[in-house]
Amino acid sequence: MLSLRIVRRIARGLPRSLGDPLFKGLSAVVAIGVVALLGIITLVLAFAAEPSIRRFGPSFLAGGVWNPVPPEVFGAAPFVYGTLVTSALALLIGVPISLGIAIFLSELAPAWLRIPLTYIVELLAAVPSVVYGLWGIFVLDPTMRSVIEPAVQATLGFLPIFQGTPIGSDKFAAGVILAVMVVPTISAVSREALLAVLANQREAALSLGATRWETTRLAVLRYARAGIFGAIILGLGRAVGETMAVTMMIGNRNAISVSLFDQGQTIASWIANNFTEAGPLELSALIELGLVLMLMSLLINVFARLMVRRVLRRGEGAA
């Protein structure tokens, strides 16, 4: 807002023919600045991680050992695996809940209930992650250990991912706490995408005899799917980079295991746990982990862009 006011004040004192070129130039500078900042961050991380990159090469991504004692061997595989597993579990749990909340708030809730519930959902997105972590330790952990995980194991224990001893602080608990954290973001953005659908779409479907659910599914969700997909990617971005809550819930064990009831690590939690006490080469390896996390986030966003474009093209072809 402040930048727009400055541009307007400058534009008022200039000939009208210079207003558009000035605004275009300033917009280009801002856009280039964002890209340049991203490039600078990447270069700084790559430069700081250069000793680790030069010593371990591609084997760093596939290595499963993190040994800071000479001869110092470091590998990122357990942390990449833990990050992917907990993020996928968070989306698996959080996306259906988020879409249900978004549909209820935008299509079904009465006005007297819609507004306070919307404020509550948006407020949850502003809660610090350390608060979620404390709630996880004192409330979620005992509940997972004594109620939820035993019930899941009794029902689905024949699956390898649900075998082992329920302990409460494990990958499953970390995925659940991440799901709780991404629900406000996904539901809020999805709700805005649903509200952006023109009322004519709803009215046309209802006039043809469609039920409320058919109208929502065919006339609303279909036209809001690009925005909903973007909301899911925003939630995934938060899940991938979350640090404190995951560190407090995942158990902090450097290992790859199939069972969700085993402890693990993510990239962000491992960096947070070891950064202050690392030696020179280990510090370089931790920075390389940060570079890997950044590249993962970039790849996720690029993939999301491609998927949204594909969905939109498919929708235009069907129309």
CA separation for the pair 111, 131 (Å, rounded): 31
Per-residue pLDDT of the chain (319 residues; tens, 9 = 90+): 545 565 555 555 555 566 677 778 888 888 899 889 988 998 999 999 999 999 988 888 888 888 888 888 898 999 999 999 999 999 999 999 999 999 999 888 888 888 899 899 888 888 888 999 999 999 999 999 999 999 999 999 899 999 888 888 899 999 999 999 999 999 998 998 888 888 888 888 888 888 888 888 888 888 888 888 888 988 888 899 888 899 999 988 888 899 999 999 999 999 988 888 888 899 999 999 999 999 888 888 888 777 777 766 655 555 5
Question: What's the CA gap between 44 and 125, in Å, rounded?
Answer: 31
Query: Read out DSSP for the chain?
Result: -HHHHHHHHHHHTS-GGGHHHHHHHHHHHHHHHHHHHHHHHHHHHHHHTHHHHHHHTTHHHH---EE-STT-EE--HHHHHHHHHHHHHHHHHHHHHHHHHHHIIIIIS-HHHHHHHHHHHHHHTTS-HHHHHHHIIIIIHHHIIIIIHHHHHHHHTTSGGG-S---SSSHHHHHHHHHHHHHHHHHHHHHHHHHTS-HHHHHHHHHTT--HHHIIIIIIHHHHHHHHHHHHHHHHHHHHH--HHHHHHSB------S-TTS-B--HHHHHHHHGGG--HHHHHHHHHHHHHHHHHHHHHHHHHHHHHHHHHHHHHHH-
Handedness of CA 64, 171, 250, 179 (dihedral sign): positive
Paired strand residues for 251: 264
Amino acid 96: pLDDT: 94
Q: Which two tokens stand for residue 246?
A: 């995951």
The pLDDT, as a whole number, for residue 36 is 92
Closest CA to 232 of 300, 299, 136: 300
Q: What is the CATH number of domain 78-318?
A: 1.10.3720.10
Q: What is the model's pLDDT at position 312?
A: 65
Residues 6+ apart with CB under 8 A from 218: 205, 210
Task: Give the distance between the most distant pair of CA atoms in the chain.
Answer: 76
pTM of the entire predicted model: 0.85
| Rounded CA separation 105/118 (Å) | 7
Compute CA 69 distance to the chain's CA centroid, rounded to the nearest angstrom: 34
CA quadruple 59, 64, 68, 72: dihedral sign: negative
